[in-house]
Structure 1
Amino acid sequence: MAATPTKQEYRLQNLSCASCAAKFEKNVKAIPEVQDAQVNFGASKITVVGSISVNQIEEAGAFDGIKVTQSVARTLEKSTPFYRKKENVLAGISLFFVILGYLLVNMRGETNPLPITMFILAILVGGVGIFKTGFRNLARFEFDMKTLMTIAIIGAAIIGEWEEAAVVVFLFAVSEALEAYSMDKARQSIRQLMDIAPPTAIIKRAHGEHFHEIELPTEEIQIGDILIVKPGQKIAMDGIVISGLSAVNQAAITGESIPVNKTVNDEVFAGTLNEEGALEVRVTKRVEDTTIAKIIHLVEEAQAEKAPSQQFVDRFAKYYTPAIMIIAFLVAIIPPLFVGDWQHWIYQGLAVLVVGCPCALVVSTPVAIVTAIGNAARQGVLIKGGVYLEQLGHIEAVAFDKTGTLTKGQPAVTDILTTDERSEDYLLQLVAAVEKQSQHPLAKAILNTLHNKNLQELVPTDFQSVTGKGAYATVDSQRIYVGSLKWVATLASVDKNIENKVKKLQDQGKTVVAVVSNDQLIGLIGIADQLRQESKDVLHKLNALKVKHMVMLTGDAEPTAQAIATTLKMTDVRASLLPEEKLMAIKDLRAQFGAVAMVGDGVNDAPALATANVGIAMGGAGTDAALETADIALMGDDLTKLPYTIGLSRKTLRIIKENIIFALALKLIALLLVIPGWLTLWIAIFADMGATLLVVFNSLRLIRAKK
């Protein structure tokens, strides 16, 4: 049986432009041992299927000076200062010769051999990289930006335009340096994510009868190891706290600004900051499986996935470059057949070649997508592809699950009503004593209220649970029964007034627990899932963003759903839905409104999340199901991130449209200058460089997009 080809990931340095990435991918695919290769321009990575060495990959990228490292290796990229980069040094020397040439032109005239020599030196020094790639491409009939520039510069030199050829070489070098700088800026969002988790950690391991502490690289830490985390240190691995109490800043993972208290049995994540106490943490995931590692992987994959607008631009650029070459050829040949002046029109044709470089157009979409997805990750929102980022911008309706989305998903005591002279606090103490032995979710709500009020716990004896009805125990010399009104009514008399109070609480969506002491009803406790404080504000912001329709889809009973909807002023509520009915509701909404987003917990709502145009999961941190089933995960269980994400998506769409318009409009204006014969190589390079820089810097505005 044939061996399965190996799949390897490598990180890339010096990957400067989108067209260079496409060419690099093509070169790697051409290597005989390679079955397939995919370059992720946004993340500066390549995935190769086949047995191949790093040197072979670097040879394929030699035209752009690409350096390759193993993806798993934690390499600290040395940032070379701007003035020490080889290409920038050469550009500087080229500028020196250009200035010297102009000084000599003023002193000796344009036709003097000395200034011409200076311009030739400027062309050779500044254009060495361009020419090497350009000639190689010409030999293979590959026409990219450097090929067009090579033809234009050599053509200008042949017709004696030495000065302009030299200036074009310098300006092109400057534009390449600025583009590389701005792309690096866009990629910083991923690099910052990768630097979040420390590369080493202190581990406590058994050595004979004693434990000793050793510092290990995170790659060598095993599941089950005990991690020692001191105050002020970053947590290196995902795990469960087994000792200690501390506040942990989880902003890097969840985007939460307020530190979260962690104690025994609480989950902690790699890359989060331990602020106060010392913790001992049992490691639960290997370094490559931690939540931050998954986030980085998903963000990088998302940036590689082409959004619809990028696919359109790529298709357009495929026909655009040959079209520009044909136009340039026709400009150089046809007018002089009628008006003469071959030199002038050949010069105009060369200028058309320069202005027609597709760089600005090709880079118009990926830089915006890369920057937006990286920004969202830093804010605690994981967007799993450019396609979802774009689709979210077109959303017309949003469907919300109720429990855990619009509400906290944790029942809490809302009402304590007594029917005799006993105080509310004493009633709560009696009920809590019985419920202390119970596993019911409502019991937790009652005990939490007792602790929040700092009330003393009473000691129960003879506890008994009655399945489906309630429980009872002896507390403070009384037999206390706690359960449903229907069961309690068989133990004590219930008058009409009590029944009305119970109905009123149930109409508000609350679960009612009745309490009997011996044979007398002594009180009622109302318990309900608490509405998130931010839910009302989020719906208001979505209205401001012109989202046309909002609907609640829930499996809860009608009264509970209506009570929450009334508070939130939601008019469309669909209650008592099974998972398949939620799915049908999403299909109906899509038929009615077109693009629909579904917000749920990523587990129970999986069919509805998958059916919606964009599925958004709450609380992705630590929840593998949410990370895998949803298109977008709000990592910190924070609903306020929803309006931010929709706003970011719409801003990204707007910037992509602006970029395409900028790129084409500047080039069109420059090309129209051919008609009166005013287009010069200077204007051409400024139009090309200006369009590219305008597009890139416009995209970088997304770095500043905040909640």
Structure 2
Amino acid sequence: MINTTELRVVLPLVLPGIADTRDRCVARLIALLEGRPGIVQVHIVGSEGPSPELCIHYDPSTLSLSRVRELAQAAGAELSAAFGHLVISTSAAMQPRAASRIAESLRKAPGVVEADVAASGAVRIEFDRGKTSEKSLRDAAAKLGLGAEGPSAEAAEHAPGQGEHAGHGHASGGPFGERSELIFAILAGVLLASGWLIEWREVGPGWLPTALYIAAYFFGGWFTAKEAFENLRERRFAIDTLTLVAAIGAAALGKWAEGALLLFLFGIGHSLEQYAMGRARRAIEALAELAPDTATVRRDGSTQSIPVGELQLGDVVIVRPNERLPADGVVVVGTTSVNQAPVTGESVPVDKRATDDAKAALAAFDRLGPEFRVFAGTINGAGAIEVMVARRAEQSTMARVVKMVTEAQAQRSPTQQFTERFERIFVPSVLVLVAVLLFAGFVIDEPFAATFYRAMAVLVAASPCALAISVPSAVLSGVARAARGGVLIKGGGALENLGSLTSIAFDKTGTLTEGKPKLTDAVAAPGATEDELLAVALAVEEQSDHPLASAVVAGARERLADRIKPATVADVKSITGRGVSAQVDGQTVHIGKPVLFSELPDSALPAAVDEANKQLVANGRTTMVVRQGARFLGVLGVMDTPRPVAGQVMAELRQLGIERLIMISGDNQQVAEAVAKTVGLTEAQGDLMPEQKVDAIKKLRQEHGKVAMVGDGVNDAPAMANATVGIAMGAAGSDVALETADVALMADDLAQLPFAVGLSRSSSRIIKQNLWVSLGVVVMLIPATIFGLGIATAVLFHEGSTLIVVANALRLLAYKGKTPARAALDAKVAEAAR
């Protein structure tokens, strides 16, 4: 038996740009590594989470840790050089059926490993660099009607293995551009109505109504026939094929009006689908257009206007009042307030001021305070400022969000994958049923014309048009609405999972709490006063760099309000793990944990001080006892206080159907329980090391099924990786949070969470509603047409269901994101500003 050692590496560090464990490059990477001597096993950990890890078990007697890491990096580099990932965004939406057909055509192109095409125009292609190039794939996409234009292959090759920036092109749908199908459908409707009126009023020659119906066939059936023939060339039987056959059958029976009605309504349905996809796509494009095209930059002692694409790191740009910011950067001159709603969803402007050390701030941009950093696309307030550029235009937070949302559109959700599998089985089954119905004359006594009419009616009834559009329209609308509200949801899978889970786990520090300890209590001992206790503590802690010292200093200054003259302090010494000692006005002062005084001679805590300490600890405080000379002055209580909206947020989550709200924290159990009780959580688990947080998440998944984990996306990455949905707060400007999370709340604002959950809940409900409507109509119409329901009535029900599911999905674009928690916080901020 070999004794093995384990190495874990975050997957995107080995395969840049790849976080989806279903990507074929992940399987190739595992195969490459497992073939190396000394490597026993390779697998993925946290495959459903936001930060999957490559776990390598190796024999330490054969390979060193550094060598294993080198092998992993080399294998990743080899695959990145061999396989590319291209993301294209076209300028026009399309019907989901056309998107599916184009995706299949792309998969057949030489060198293409996998291809996904979203109805909104987003395209994602994985390809073998040895067999094809990016330019060839862009040309192939253009021939399929995608009309993609983007960076040249040479320019794109600088980042092998990573998704390239989206290009934009023009995809003309006919003589009237993108509106051609709608105009053709309207013309078909006008011709149909004219023919019907002439026939009803019995005016004009007898051949005129039929001629008008035939003309309606031409305009109504042009795009349907075009797509049906494309499908037949690919040997696919799709919905368009069923519709076209039914229309031809109606014409063969002399039912020109009914056939024209079918094609007219089918064309209108198609146009509405394209409108729905276009609405979702334009919502995303609107984000990309927020950043200005040019920037005023200060160079060589003068100012000049240049395209934002030419901005370099370290450039200083001038932003005048009410202008949009051209780049992510650090404020170096001036003060102002910035409307960050386009990026973070915050409805209240955020105050900004200049940093003292611009270069240091630039190097630590991810960790910089919100008062110093700004983002491209946000809107400056009344003050003129100068900003040092921290990121190039294509790497700005806004650009990355747009790119990630584009990629999310091309990823099929679990329900969408189900509906596509269902269609592949259902459509051929319908054709078989229709063929069987054509022989009904051998069973019942009726003319062949009646049998044929019934078969065509069944064809119309069984076409799952509404099913094809039901899921993608809802997913795209949900993702687009979330992005507009400052929430990045990476695809339909995360949207559906967040919409159906009932358990959410939270990290404590910085998530449920402010992340900044505050002095909450000062309990004086008998014979001492609160002012005396605070004055001594202030004098000593001002000399300390301990994280809790600043909380004590700030709290003491606020309470004392300059009432007491500062004491003289000398000989300050840190007592590791226990506290601090110093000389104050000639007397020795000790400030530290209660355990410190059990270790010092003759310093047992008096009963009153001990009782006060225990009470504070029971309430979740971190305590410090203060003694000057032989006198105990009292106990100080410090606590990382909950966010102001935390309690309201938890109440809203419960209203949304979240039954279990759990905190997992590294703090002691009493502190965890105190915070949990304050904000209204159902459970608290404290004293957890990082690996124990992972175990806690795994246990929650076993007990409750799906569970989300909310954290900062950095320290909580392992736990988030093992959750069904990882949710990162404060993701704006943070590369790690954006890359690792399934859902990223762009603002460091807990009040965005109910919006994200509520939107996902609504999306899940709408997806289910659409599935029930689309499948229900088909289930109802098939037997109804078999037993005599006419084509015209079947068409009205059939196309009516398509209109219903599309309109239902578009409701998500108008989802109201103003939760009571958000409104309450905005009101508090506005009141404070006044």
Shorter-normalised TM range: 0.7 to 0.9
* Paired AA for residue 777 in structure 2: L
2:684 aligned with 1:576: no
TM-score when normalising by structure 1: 0.87
Preserved CA contact (<8 Å) 1:602 1:625: yes
SS at match of 1:393: helix
Q: Which of 767, 782, 787 in structure 2 is aligned with 1:656?
A: 767
CA distance 1:8–1:594, shift in 2 (3 Å)? closer
1:308 has 2:414 as partner: yes
How do 1:279-318 and structure 2 match up within 5 A?
279-318=385-424
Does 2:464 match 1:384?
A: no
Check if 1:356 corresponds to 2:462. Answer: yes
Residues 280 and 476 in structure 2, CA contact (< 8 A), matched pair in contact too: yes
Distance 1:464 1:77, change over 3 A: farther
Aligned to 1:685: 795
Q: Which residues of 2 match residues 212-227 of structure 1 at below 5 A? A: 212-227=302-317
**Shift in Å, 1:23:** 1.0
For 1:694 and 1:251, the matched residues in 2 are separated by 32
Local SS of the residue matching 1:151: helix
Alpha carbons 1:390, 1:653 under 8 Å: kept: yes
Paired residue total: 697
The alpha carbon displacement at 1:130 in A equals 2.7
Task: Give 2:643's aligned residue.
Answer: 532
How many Å separate the matches in 1 of 2:319 and 2:560?
Answer: 31
User: How far apart in 2 are the matches of 1:516 and 1:90?
Assistant: 88
Out of 149, 159, 177, which is 1:69 matched to? 149
Distance apart, 1:19 and its partner CA: 0.8
Aligned partners of 1:332 and 1:347 also within 8 Å: no
Distance 1:102 1:429, change over 3 A: same
1:551 is matched with: 662
Partner of 1:699: 809
The more displaced of 403-412 and 568-577 is: 568-577
1:430/1:214 CA distance change after superposition, 3 Å = farther
Distance in 2 between the 1:325 and 1:641 partners? 49
Cα displacement (A) at 1:273: 2.1
The answer for the alignment partner of 1:57 in structure 2 is 141
Which letter maps to 2:661?
A: M
Provide the C-alpha distance between the structure 2 equivalents of 1:485 and 1:619, rounded to a whole number of angstroms. 33
SS for the counterpart of 1:528 is strand
| Counterpart secondary structure, 2:786 | coil
Question: Aligned residue for 1:466?
Answer: 574
Which 10-residue stretch deviates more, 307-316 or 684-693? 684-693
1:610 offset after TM fit, Å? Answer: 1.9
Q: 1:129 to 1:637 in 2, by over 3 A?
A: same
1:276-310, Cα deviation, whole Å (9 max, x unpaired): 32222222222222222222233333333222222
One-letter identity of the residue aligned with 2:236: E
CA 1:131–1:444 in 2, change beyond 3 Å: closer, same or farther? same
Q: Structure 2 length normalisation: TM-score?
A: 0.75
Give the superposition deviation at 1:189. 3.2
How big is the shift at 1:693? 1.4
Summarize deviations over 1:610-650 as a string: whole Å, max 9, x none. Answer: 22222333322233333333332333233333344333333
2:427 to 309, 321, 325: 321
2:738 corresponds to: 627
Deviates more, 1:42-51 or 1:347-356: 42-51
Pick one of 665, 669, 673 that aligns with 1:562: 673
For 1:551 and 1:627, how far apart are their aligned partners in 2?
24
One-letter amino acid of the counterpart of residue 810, structure 2:
L
Contact 1:492/1:516, CA 8 A, preserved across alignment: no
Please provide the CA RMSD for this pair: 3.6
Q: Does 1:146 align with 2:230?
A: no
Residue 112 of structure 2 is aligned to residue 39 of structure 1: no
User: What SS does structure 2 have at the residue aligned with 1:364?
Assistant: helix
Q: Which secondary structure state, in structure 1, belongs to the residue aligned with residue 148 of structure 2?
A: strand
Relative to structure 2, which stretch is displaced further, 224-233 or 98-107?
Answer: 98-107
The answer to whether the aligner puts 1:247 opposite 2:328 as a matched pair is no
Classify 1:132/1:295 alpha carbon distance in 2 versus 1 (closer, same or farther; 3 Å): closer
Q: Secondary structure at the match of 1:339?
A: coil
Could you say if the C-alpha distance between residues 437 and 377 of structure 1 is closer, same or farther in structure 2, counting changes exceeding 3 Å?
A: farther
- Any conservation in 1 of the 2:96–2:118 contact (CA below 8 Å)? no
* Aligned equivalent of 2:717, options 603, 606, 616: 606
Deviations 1:343-380 (A, max 9, x none): 23222222322332222112221221222222223333
Matched letter for residue 625 of structure 1: V
Alpha-carbon distance in structure 2 between the residues aligned to 1:599 and 1:72: 29
Tell me what 1:345 maps to: 451
Label 1:98 to 1:276 Cα distance change in 2 as closer, same or farther (>3 A). same
**Residue 354 of structure 2 is aligned with which of 236, 245, 264?**
264
- In the alignment, what sits opposite 2:327? 237
Measure, in 1, the Cα distance between the counterparts of 2:215 and 2:442. Answer: 32
Residue identity opposite 1:157 in structure 2: A
Tell me, which stretches of 5 or more residues in structure 1 are unaligned? none
Equivalent in the alignment of 2:214: 120
Structure 2 contact 93–278 (Cα < 8 Å) conserved: no
Q: 3-state SS of the aligned residue for 2:661?
A: strand
Q: Matched residues in 2 for 1:579 and 1:663: separation? A: 46
Report the CA distance between 1:465 and its aligned residue. Answer: 4.6
- Alignment of 1:190 with 2:284, yes or no, is yes
| Mapping for residues 345-494 of structure 1, pairs under 5 Å | 345-417=451-523, 428=534, 431-432=537-538, 434-449=540-555, 455=561, 464-468=572-576, 481=589, 483-484=591-592
Distance in 2, matches of 1:496 and 1:135, equals 91
Contact kept, 8 Å, 1:433 with 1:460, in 2: the verdict is yes
Provide structure 2 residue ranges, at least 5 long, that are not aligned to the other structure: 1-77, 151-163, 356-371, 820-834
Contact 2:296 2:318 in 1 (8 A): yes
Residue from 94, 108, 112 that aligns with 1:16: 94
Do the aligned residues in 1 keep the contact of 2:325 with 2:376 (CA within 8 Å)?
yes
Instruction: Give the superposition deviation at 1:224.
Output: 1.5
1:103 offset after TM fit, Å?
4.3
Give the 3 Å change call, closer, same or farther, for CA 78–270 of structure 1 in structure 2: farther
What is aligned with 1:91?
A: 185
User: 1:510 aligned to 621, 629, 645, which one?
Assistant: 621
Task: Quote the residue 2:75 is aligned against.
Answer: none
* Aligned-partner residue type, residue 304 of structure 2: I
CA contact (8 A) 2:609 2:634 kept: no
The AA in structure 2 aligned to 1:310 is Q
Matches of 2:254 and 2:543 in 1, distance apart?
Answer: 96
Is the 8 Å Cα contact of residues 419 and 468 (structure 2) preserved in structure 1? yes
Identity rate, percent: 36
Determine if contact 2:486/2:746 at 8 Å carries over to the other structure: yes
Using the TM superposition, name which of 71-80 and 263-272 deviates more.
71-80
